[in-house]
Amino acid sequence: MEQTKYLVVGSSHAALEALTAIRMHDPEGSLTMLTRDPHLPYSPTVLPYVVSGRSAPDNVFLRDEKFFAEQKISLKRGKALKALHPARNAAELADGSEIGYEKLLLATGASPAIPPIPGIEQVGYHVLRTLDDATQLNAAMKASKQAVVMGAGLVGMHAAENLVKAGAKVTIVEMARQLTDGYFDATAAALIEKAFTDNGATILTGSRVVKLAPSATGATLTLESGATLEADLLLVATGVRPNMDFLAGDGATVARDKGILVSESMQTSVPNVFAAGDCAQAKSFYSDARVMNAILPDAAEQGRIAGMAMAGDPGIKAYPGGIPVNTYHFFGRHAISVGSSKVPEGGEVVTRFDEASGRYLKVIFHEGRLTGIYGVNEFFDAGVMSQLILRRIDLAPLRERFLAEPMKTAREIMSRTWR
């Protein structure tokens, strides 16, 4: 059986940061990266731009072969983890071979969740999570005249914008009452919706697809209301589910809930096994509950911590808990959200909306501290705002200035406090 000191499964953000952290502390220990993807490492987040054609599919890689050679990392592409045998520290691959490890990181991320709608397996549909998904969608998009996007999360919205710009008639179907539910509030969502409808998209919120059937065009979708839609291109973007199927059988000793449960150092319930990124369920910043916070910056941070823990780096700091952060560009505008959209008990919400410029700002305070800030066309530094929240900085003395000029005031506090 092949043996490696560190085995990292996955080749995206969480996994790459773990490599960096491990090599920072242990430049020599044998290190193997395993990924089921056939390509060099890339980010799912860049895929909408591969779909649109803006990024060439061979120009999005985050590391090259030289990096792996220099860092003495054995990269195994196109090799999937099939089962885990934690009792004997072994990983079983889809091809039947096994790799023994001293420390294992599961950074397997997530895959599109396919809703169990009758008929869905009979129709052809696209998803968007891998580079191959993106090149296929890019090819299909060019021929599309009428496309339907199921799900108005950021993945669906990005794709819908691309389809609109490619000249298709686009309908977005969303179960929730508003677009980008969970990312942005109703006011922001309305601004986003307007940008889409202005550009010719049709948006059906509060609508559920109940049936799918093949048709001459491609697929016929039947909505709860009884109405039907024809699609020559169907994109399913109704959310994601973490990749952890390999934890059946022997691997079932690794505790799971919605994702793989991890401690503040990304350790699972089983010795020598760590998890980070979209597949992991880690501490929230706002409570002791463990949550899924499937965003890129968190995947990177968790991966860094996991790598440090695996290598025994004494500089490790406990994970402070994740906060949701999203940046979203649409039709030349941008929306940014930092922190929790929930207003805590005793919390205070201040909103400012200038209809003429479409500038929208919403700030949530609790006991003088920032817990969330949202903007549409109102730029502020999300990284600085995150720090204000994570450091629980008292903004009471600067409240008015902060509301008037959030970006400028936050930068001043940054410069004074942690520069």
Partner 1 sequence: MGAYNTIAFDAAKCDGCGDCMSACANTKVGADDALKEAPLGGTARSRIQIGGTAETGYELALCRQCGDPKCVTVCPAGALGKDLSNGVIGWDAAKCVDCLLCTVGCAYAGIALDEATGRVAKCDMCEGNPSCVKACPHDALKLVTTSRIYNEVGGWEDLFAPGLAGCQGCNTELLMRHTLRRVGPDTVLATPPGCVPGMGSVGFNGTTGTKVPVFHPLLTNTAPMLAGVKRHYKRIGREVTALAIAGDGGASDVGFQSLSGAAERNEQILFMVVDNEGYMNTGMQRSSCTPYGAWTSTTPVGQGAGGVHSQGKTQDAKNLPLIMVNHRCEYVATASTACMEDLYDKLDKAIEASRRGFAYLHVYSPCTTGWRFPTDQNMEVARKAVDTTFVMLWEYTRADGLHFTRPVDDPLPVTEYLKAMGRFRHLSDDQISHIQSKVVENLGFVKQLAHGAKA
Ligand X SMILES: Cc1cc2nc3c(=O)[nH]c(=O)nc-3n(C[C@H](O)[C@H](O)[C@H](O)COP(=O)(O)OP(=O)(O)OC[C@H]3O[C@@H](n4cnc5c(N)ncnc54)[C@H](O)[C@@H]3O)c2cc1C
What distance in Å separates the CA atoms of residue 106 and residue 212, rounded to the nearest whole number? 35
Other beta carbons within 10 angstroms of residue 66's beta carbon come to 8
Residue 141 interacts with partner 1 (CB under 8 A): yes or no: no
Buried-exposed string 159-189: b where 16+ CB fall within 10 A, e elsewhere: bbbbbbebebbbbbbbbeebbbbebbbebbb
Token couple for 213: 């059937």
What distance in Å separates the CA atoms of residue 222 and residue 240, rounded to the nearest whole number? 23
Report phi then psi at 307, rounded to 5: -60, -40
Identify the residue among 19, 93, 147, 296 touching partner 1 (CB under 8 A): 296
Residue 80 interacts with ligand X (CB under 6 A): yes or no: yes
Applying the rule CB under 6 A, the residues between 192 and 251 that interact with ligand X are 243, 246
Other beta carbons within 10 angstroms of residue 222's beta carbon come to 18
Residue 296 interacts with ligand X (CB under 6 A): yes or no: yes
In angstroms, give the least distance from the CB of 362 to partner 1.
Answer: 18
- Determine whether 282 is exposed, middle or buried from the number of CB atoms within 10 Å of its CB (0-12, 13-18, 19+): buried
Residue 47 interacts with ligand X (CB under 6 A): yes or no: yes
Residue 165 interacts with partner 1 (CB under 8 A): yes or no: no
Element (H, E) at 136: helix 131-143
Residue 66 interacts with partner 1 (CB under 8 A): yes or no: no
Applying the rule CB under 8 A, the residues between 20 and 49 that interact with partner 1 are 43-46, 48-49
Applying the rule CB under 8 A, the residues between 297 and 336 that interact with partner 1 are 297, 300, 304, 325, 327, 329, 332, 334, 336
What distance in Å separates the CA atoms of residue 358 and residue 376, rounded to the nearest whole number? 7
In angstroms, give the least distance from the CB of 54 to partner 1.
Answer: 6
Residues that bind ligand X (CB under 6 A): 9-15, 34-37, 43-45, 47-48, 80-81, 107-110, 128-129, 154-155, 158, 243, 246, 277-278, 294-297, 299, 326
Residues that bind partner 1 (CB under 8 A): 13, 17, 43-46, 48-49, 54-55, 59-62, 296-297, 300, 304, 325, 327, 329, 332, 334, 336, 338, 379, 381-384, 386-387, 407-408, 410-412, 414-416, 418-419
